[in-house]
Amino acid sequence: MYLHLTIKLLVGFVVLFIVTKFIGGRELRQLNVFDFISAIVLSELVGNVLYQEEVNAIQMSYAILFWTGLIYLIDKITLKFHNTRKLLDGESELVIEEGIIDRKVLSQHRLELSELLGMLREKDIFSIREVRFAFIEPDGNVSVVKGEKIQYGSGDLGSLPAPLIMDGKLVKKSLTRLEKNEDWLRHELLKKSIHDFQEVFYAEYLTGYGLLVQTQQKP
């Protein structure tokens, strides 16, 4: 019986690990893979002994002790072999370099452009122009090395950067806020030899700095 339980726990760990890595870091922000899996498994083990009569306290204790030992062993292995930690938890990836967003990295982490911009705003960064380097960390958070410092006007929403195009789609409310129209934007894009909004991955306008445009990349 205990051999059968051990096999089920090992299989459960492998399956949970694969699923956890698949769903990506944003759902697990602030948690590493083992914290997440341990929380699920331990709660399930306790739940089984409470609601399934065929599982007794001794079996539950064995399962918890085995699981604790497994996690302890994995932690020891990853501390000794650093490459193993990278394999299991992942490593930081460069998502913005000198103000240029890497769409491929966004796609790999299942992050939308709007989510990335929101994460930057949480760090008081309102324009891509301010970012020299940005990394997506293994826990799904973003760390930033700032570049150019931009002084925004106080008390005026119009002084903040306005995203005008995001992944080929026009952000009409930003144009309205700037009191500009599509014809103006098309004219500005033509100056950069861009003929269609679909060619643009990201475009933002900032008073005093003008229009910043990044064209589409293959994800």
Q: Does domain 93-215 have CATH number 3.30.240.20?
A: yes
Answering whether pTM is above 0.95, one says no
Work out the angle between the directed axes of helices 2-23 and 33-51 (0-180°, nearest 10): 140
The full set of domain ranges for the chain reads 2-89, 93-215
What percent of the chain stands above pLDDT 70?
67
Out of 115-124, 146-155, 184-193, which region has the weakest mean confidence (pLDDT)? Answer: 146-155
Cα 64 from Cα 43, distance rounded (Å): 10
Long-range CB contacts for residues 142-147, cutoff 8 Å, separation at least 24: 142/95, 142/116, 143/92, 144/96, 144/120, 147/98, 147/99
Q: What is the pLDDT of residues 121-167, one digit of tens each?
A: 999 999 999 999 999 988 788 999 998 888 776 656 667 899 999 99
The pLDDT value recorded for residue 71 is 75
Cα 161 from Cα 103, distance rounded (Å): 20
